[in-house]
Structure 1
Amino acid sequence: MFKNISFKEFIENKYSLFLSPISDLSCNHKNKFIQDQRKLFNFDKMVCEFYNETHKPKSADALYMLDDNTVLFIEFKTGYKDKVIIRSLDENKYCQKCYDKILKNICNEKFNYFIKYKDLIKEDKKKAIFLKIAESYIMFKEKFISEYSDEYNVNDINYKFLFWLVIDAPVDSFPISFKKKNHTDSKDNANNVFIDMQNSMKRFYDKNNSSYYNEILVLNPHEFINKINDFLN
């Protein structure tokens, strides 16, 4: 008979080959927007152990067990920098030539695309993240927790789930700083992608554990490193 081990030990032992540097996990199209060689689990690759690529659910980029029963999912999202610059400008106040000068390396085609479809892009990004939040939770319980429960006959654990969304948008580009948490100007808040995303994801979390997650945070890279420092050596 196997000696019972904690769920944290189970994940760390069985899936150790899927550990990857944070720099690699945050990479999108060769852009590593976080430089950190400490390792987290590559959750996308772990999921492929149960699903082929055709039927693979949407999953977070990274996984880390904070303790024996607390699961942290991390999603790294790039591509917000250009959008933030454009959203912080009022296209009605500038001619095309002025915009070209301000945006510098953004070509006219890309500029016009963002101006025309920026609201649609915003909603598409949200929907993609919503899918990752929901399907990561459902699939993790169905596959990984069930696998542990079946193998060690453990069924009475109260698991906690956290989700951190880390985006590459610079805080200084926004009308207000995300750190000013008591700011209540609704117009400014609507233009702040951090607050906008945080508010959009409220449906998924509840501190009293009556929903999917106990916590969902939207972080910039600096905030992410500060928070993960509490758990990684």
Structure 2
Amino acid sequence: MRFMRFVIDGPHPDINRHNIIIEMPLQAETFASLPRELQEGRQIRVIPILFNIGITEKATLAEKLGTTGLQDKINMDSFAKMHEYYAQYCKHFEDPLDTSGGVNSLAHRMKILQNNVMTRKSKNVEVLHVAAEVTRAMRGLRAIMCKSGKDRTSMAVTLEMVHILQRNHNLASHVFMQSLDCLRSVGCRRENTLKNTGMKKYAFSTLQMLYIPKLYRAPSGTYGNVQT
């Protein structure tokens, strides 16, 4: 195995925790296919971006109290950074979605993302959906996370899977929710909850289900009051 190095620049490069270097093992044949400068130790710069949308009853309370300022700032700052990266991307590559600049183009998706980030709307999960599509189009790497990495994360991961099936593999619209429930009921995400809590149940309560956006709700019988 050979190692590739990725670096995340921080505001204080003289302090280790602000200048993170990540090493990833690669199979010898994969390493051999890399450009020579990377094989010789050149580091790959990482542009980290975070989008956050609260979806539980706590997010509902925060919206009612008007305390979503930090979330709003995170999303606006992240969009600015993504737009800067997008501008650089366009200097080297054609639009990967639609070179004609139409409604399916990356440029149009960026405008939609900007509008969603700038618009005040309750639990606007469209920010997450469009950001995921844009990142994938520009060949970026993504991670989905919540507090525990098994409940809201499972809902988001399965939702993205079905979006990909619909967008890239012609999944019929009338079986969208059926496919979503299937992945959440019998897919590997249930095994993930078992490994974490000893039960094949998502840690949602019936009360929480009333506040969570429809596309992020676990199917009946798959959730209960278990350890988070």
Structure 2 length as normaliser, TM-score?
A: 0.27
More strand by share: 1
Structure 1 length as normaliser, TM-score?
A: 0.26
Q: Which has the higher contact order (CA 8 A, sep 6+)?
A: 1
More helix by share: 2
